[in-house]
Amino acid sequence: MTRHTGAHAGIRRAVTAAVAAAVAGASFIGLAPAANAQDATRPWYLDVMQAEKMWAVSKGEGVTVAVIDSGVGDTPALRGQVLAGLDSTDLSGDERSDLTGHGTTMAELIAGTGEGGGLQGLAPSAKILPIRIQIGNKEGETWVDPRVGAKAIRAAADSKARIINMSVAGSTFDGYTEEAIKYAASKGKLVFAGTGNDGSTDRKFPVSYPEVVGVGAVDKSGVYAKFSNYGKSVDLAAPGTEVPTYCDESLTRYCTSEGTSQATALASASAALIWSEHPEWTANQVLKVMIDTAGREDGKQTLSKYIGWGVVRPRVNLLEGKGDPGAPDVNPLLPAGSQDKDPSAKPSAEDKGADAKPEATEAAGAEAAKDDEGNGQLWTVLGIAAAVVVVGGGAFVLIRRRSTN
């Protein structure tokens, strides 16, 4: 269960009440709308990641990403990008109906075209498979029945989607979701989920299942976002602050937001870019290259508890040809430390310690994004991982982080 104090607790209750009034189901993860502060068609991280140069090589063609979320609306930036999916709810509409704006934002971050003033996605030629799960309210928390969530994961596993994006998370282990995740992995899917938005080492699910790639968030300066959960579940990090996000279900206005939801979507999009260029690779090989090419200023090959293996940098593979895909049947998350993501293991006293704070001396990643004129933009990551979604009490939970305008 996510804990909030003071104003955050009040906001949390207000959001929960609003969602519950609109729906009879469950909720989703971590966005923090603030203000309509930037051009949605050109988020800041596109320049840092050298998107234009990457798109000359790959735009994600031929790759489908399943987005298990609140549904995906019909917006100008997504027209022609969304396939027929699945609605596992009893709400009005179908999987193309989004009562929160969350799922639509995730889809646009991945595959938006920027049309009509909408979001420019990182992999604009990828396709989206929308799988809507129901939002509800139980004892003051939004939730999804784990059996429903597991059904959604299995549907994605049985689809043609290669990547499964889960910007959802929670605090309780459950067997239904665990088995569904294992099934998806057995079907060759690459599954991404966020670490959580508590700014703590509290472990979340599905991110803590060994087969799931845990994504943390970094800010515009490349520094770990302090709201992000860190610890044993973090495998990679991606931009997760100052990201345009739909303000509400009307899908008419963007706000500036933060959360590991966004970071997860950008990690999924990064995988789509690489997989499109190397369609013969397996999920294991795509992930191995993402790990090999992640930004780590210290150059270490060990996990940082804040950003995992580092910040995603698909351009290092696409533009420089770097990254060893390794064996097709070896999951790079499991051989060297699968015990660290054992979902049944309890966090150690050190991991749970409230006094454990990130140290400024632990420089964990860097990205030097240089343009043709040789002007460099240093993207330095100072070691702390990310926050996205929350799955708790045997339920997928949506946590919306909000800041003041």
User: Any idea which residues carry the catalytic annotation?
Assistant: 69, 102, 261
Sheet containing strand 395-397, edge to edge, reads 170-171, 390-392, 395-397
Token representation of residue 66: 């399943």
User: How many CB atoms sit inside 10 A of residue 353's CB?
Assistant: 11
389: left (phi over 0), alpha (psi -120 to 50) or beta: beta
Q: What is the DSSP letter of 11?
A: H
Residue with tokens 């270490």: 300
Beta strands 163-166; 190-194: pairing state: parallel
As a whole number of angstroms, the distance between CA 83 and CA 59 comes to: 17
| Upstream peptide bond of 206 is cis (omega within 30 degrees of 0) | yes
As a whole number of angstroms, the distance between CA 42 and CA 21 comes to: 34
* Beta-carbon contacts of residue 142 (< 8 Å; ≥ 6 apart): 16, 19, 20, 26, 27, 28, 135, 136, 395, 397, 398
As a whole number of angstroms, the distance between CA 16 and CA 8 comes to: 12
- Return the bridge partners of 191, or none: 164
As a whole number of angstroms, the distance between CA 323 and CA 105 comes to: 30
* Beta-carbon contacts of residue 399 (< 8 Å; ≥ 6 apart): 2, 12, 27, 29, 30, 197, 259, 389, 390
